[in-house]
Structure formats: C-alpha cells, structure tokens
Amino acid sequence: MSFARTTLRELRPTLRLAAPITAGQVGQMLMGVADTVMVGHVGTLALAACAFGNNVLMVVAIAGFGVLTAVSVRVSHAHGAGMVHTMARAYYGGVGLSVIGGVLCAAGMHLLYPLFHHLGQAPGVVEEATAYTLIVAWSLIPAWLTATARSYLESQNRPWPAFWIMFGGVLLNVGLNWILIFGNLGAPALGLAGAGWATLISRVVTFAALTWFVLAGSSAPVERWKPDRAWWREQAALLRLGTPTGLQLLSEVGAFAAAALLIGRLGAVPLAAHQIAITCASTTFMFPLGVAMASTVRIAQALGAGRQDLLRPIGAGAWFVGLVVMSVFTVVLVVAGPSIARGFVEDPAVIVIAVQLLVIAGIFQLVDGVQVVGSGLLRGLRDTKAPMWITVAAYWLIALPLGSWLAFGRGQGAAGMWVGLAWGLVFAAVLLVLRFVGKTRADRPNV
C-alpha cells in the first residue's frame, strides 16, 4: 500500500478521535472567552486585570496539564498493548498528582500574590485582579482532575462522554457569569470576582460529573484506588514522563505571560488589547491542539501494538489537518480583525491595537499549528526531553529577546512583542518536524 493511501486510511480514525477532543478543548477555552467578553463590558481596567490574572494562572495551569499528558501516553500505550492494570494505575496516579499539585499551587499563589505589586503593572491592575486570581487558583484542582479523567477515556477511543460533560460545564460557566458578574436574578454584582466564582463552581461540577462517569461507567478502572507503594511509584513514573512536557509548555506559556507583563508596562490599553488577541489566538490554538492530542494517543497505541510502520502516515495526516484548519483561521483573523475586536470592547484605543495584534496572530497561525502537532506526535513516541529544549530555545532565546527589542528598543509597542513571538514559533516548528522525521526513519525500528 502506498504512503498516500496509508496516510488517508489512518487519517480517518485520527479525525474521529480529534473531533470531540477538539470540541472539548474549544469548549473549555470558551470559558475564558466568556470571561473576557463579559468582563470587557465592565471596563478597560477590569479587562486588563482579567488579562493579568489569567496570564499568571495560565503559567501554572498549563504546566500542570503538561505533566498530566503522561496519563494519556501511559494509558494509550497500555491500551494498545492490552495492559488493563497499567491503565488503572495511570489513572489513579494522575488523580494523586492533580490533588497534591493543585493544593500546593493554590496555597503558593496566596503566599506569592503580595509580591506581584512589584511587576510594574499599570495602577490598579494588580489590586483589581486579586480576588479573581486567588479564587480561580483553587479551580486548578478540579480542572486537573477533569483532565486526568478525560485523558483516561480518550486514550481508550471514548472521547464523546468527556466532550458532552465539559460542554455542559461551559454552559454553566456562561450562565453563572451572567448572574455573578452583573448581579442578575437577585445576586450581588461581583464584577471580575464574579467571573472567578463562576469558573470555580463550573469546574467543580464538571469534575464531579466526569469522575462519576469514569468510576461508574463501563470503562471503569479494573483496580480500585489504594494508597500503597504502587500508587506512589506510578506517580513517580508519570512525573518522569510528564515533567519535560510540563516544562516545555511552561516555557511556552511562560513566554507569553512574560510578554503580557512586558506589554503591561506600556499601560492598561495595550494590555487590554493583548488580552483580546491572546484570547482569540488561544481559542484557534485549541483546534490543532485537539489534533495533537489525538495524534499522541494514536502514535502511542501504534507503538504499543508494535506497528512502527504507521507512525509516519499518522503524523503526515495530523499535520495535514492542522495546516488546513489554521489556514482558515489565518483568513478569519486577518480579514475580520476589526469586527472581532469590537465584539470584546468599545474603547477605540484598545480596538486599534487589538486589530494590529490579530493580524500578526493570523499570520503565525500556520507555524503554530505545525509546532503543536509536532509536539503531540513526539509525545506519543515518549520523546519529551528534546521538544522541551527546542521550546525553551525558541521562546526564551529568540522570541522574548527579539520581541522586547522590537517593542521597546524599536518603539513598536505590543505589535513588536508579537512579531518576536511569531519568529519563536517558526523556529520551534522547523525543529520539531525534523525531530519527528529523524525519530521515525525506517532504519530505526525501536523508536
């Protein structure tokens, strides 16, 4: 069978798995979009504070999600090899990491938050963001538990239950935003803090529903949880596999958070514009991310089943889908930028800068899709250390230094920072593609 025919054949199961995963990722991202849109109508200061709080929390949250990708890899590999007991241990290990890590991170946020006043933000931003940031910090625990349960189901090719439950959580979040931000149905108008409470409540409900489905459903783990040595050993194994991915995502999201902090030094207006653009770019990013997550599962399953001959066809199909999807978003962000910006905020000064950033975001959509799919493919091969170093170099040696020079040294402001980030993505995309091609050569049967 030719490579093209094999690629098309393998593309179908990848798409079947990617569709609900992508929809679930987009649904979760819509929580942030709903917060941004609704808070934007409260005022520019509230929107800038929302941007500050989200950027601080996103660094921690994404690092945790990165570590927990090890659950997907472990369960997928075990599923391909028919090792059901390993699947159960991976799930419970992920639960332990989610709870322990979530408590430590939320408590640490309370201890560190007073230091954030020294980050040079516009007057009032840190104070306005305090309640929102600390409330949402505690929602990391149910968010990570949800990710663990979702990975357990998706790795067994059962993504739809997680999608429907998470979609219900999004609708709940929007409804609670309407009630708690603006004080509808007799509730007090809490403003930005109301958005934080809405996020926390909806994430707790989503976690509870999805966990009940896992434990009571037909794909319940064959072993029950026991706090024994095997449980702790599984958590250690997950940490060894997932920590490089967590650090990889931490370097990426940390770079964007650092960029937001630097843009915040330019004032509340550029920071509010950055929040609009990053919300849109992060939402479109969920589509290739869903493809990447599906490709991780399919690559790990093929590896577990001893089908190395399917690795490149699966990878080629995943990259094809990512490029097609991101090409569409390139056109949307470039052409519809003004309309998108006006949908978030009414401040003309914010809209002008946001439109510039949306154009840049549209241009780097393609390379963003390539690099995230490449990371997912390599993760399925259990290759996590090299992608980590590639990402660190791309963002901290290229993107941020170049962006800072353009923003402040050349006077290009927020747009200059985003141009630097775009070049970092180009560097990462090229190296990740070359890494996957090298790892899947025909003369390397033991990947």
* pTM metric for this prediction: 0.77
Q: What is the residue type of 182?
A: F
User: SS in 3 state form for 272-325?
Assistant: HHHHHHHHHHHHHHHHHHHHHHHHHHHHHHHHHCCCHHHHHHHHHHHHHHHHHH
Q: Nearest 5°: phi and psi at 187?
A: -80, 155
- Give per-residue pLDDT as tens, 166-224: 889 989 998 999 999 989 998 888 888 898 999 999 999 999 999 999 998 777 787 78
Res. 420 pLDDT band, cuts 50 70 90: very high
Q: Which of 212, 93, 103, 108 is nearest to 162 (CA)?
A: 212
- Give per-residue pLDDT as tens, 352-390: 999 999 999 888 888 999 999 999 999 989 898 899 999
Are the C-beta atoms of 42 and 181 separated by less than 8 Å?
A: yes
Q: What is the residue type of 68?
A: L
- Give per-residue pLDDT as tens, 1-50: 588 888 888 888 888 888 888 877 777 666 666 777 788 777 778 877 88
Distances (CA, A) of 329 to 313, 341, 369, 378: 25, 15, 11, 25
What value does the mean pLDDT of the chain take?
87
- Give per-residue pLDDT as tens, 293-339: 889 889 988 888 888 888 999 999 999 999 999 999 999 998 988 88
3-state helix, strand, coil in the chain (%, to 5): 85, 0, 15
Encoded tokens for 281: 């770019």
Encoded tokens for 144: 């990570």
Quick one: what percent of the chain has pLDDT higher than 70?
96
Q: Name the burial class of residue 208, with classes exposed (0-12), middle (13-18) and buried (19+) by CB atoms within 10 angstroms of its CB.
A: middle
How far apart CA 323 and CA 366 sit, in angstroms, is 6
